[in-house]
Amino acid sequence: MSSVIRTCANCGTKNRIPAGRLTQNARCGSCKATLGPVAEPLEVDPETFDGIIREATVPVLADFWASWCGPCRMAAPEVAALAREMAGKAVVVKVDTEAYPELGNRYRVQSIPNFIVFSNGNVAMQRAGVAPRAEMRRWIEAAQTAGVR
C-alpha cells in the first residue's frame, strides 16, 4: 500500500496518509487535528504516482511538466486552483518530466504541459497544451460519470 506524507497545518507533524484515502478526512497522529482531503497538487515520484493511480477511488489528474517550460508555469496556478476546487472529488498530481522521464515515456508524453486523467487505474483521457481550469474540470467530471470504483 502506497502512502503520501502530509504535514499538519496545526502542529507541523508529518503524517503518512494511504494513497487510497487522500480524498477523505484524516487525523494528525500528534495533535489529532483534522487533515482534510488533499487540496493541492501533489508532486510525485514514480512509486507514489503508481500507488495513487492504483489505489485512488476518484479520478486522478496528472500534470506532466518541467520547470523550464513557460506554458507549464502558466498552467500551474490553474492546476492548483483546480486541486482546491476538486478536493474530496479528485486527486491532482504533478510529474516533473525532467526528474522522472520514465513516467513521461510510459505515457508517450512528447510535449508539455501534458494532462492525463486516470479512472480506475486506466487512462480516461490525455491532452497536451495549456487548458483552462473549466475544461480540466470537465475532464475529471467525465471520468467521474464514466464510473469510478
Active site residues: 69, 72
Q: 128: buried, middle or exposed (CB in 10 Å: 19+, 13-18, 0-12)?
A: middle
CA atoms of 54 and 117, how far apart (whole Å): 13
Amino acid making up residue 130? V
Long-range contact pairs involving 122-125 (C-beta distance under 8 Å, separation at least 24): 124/59
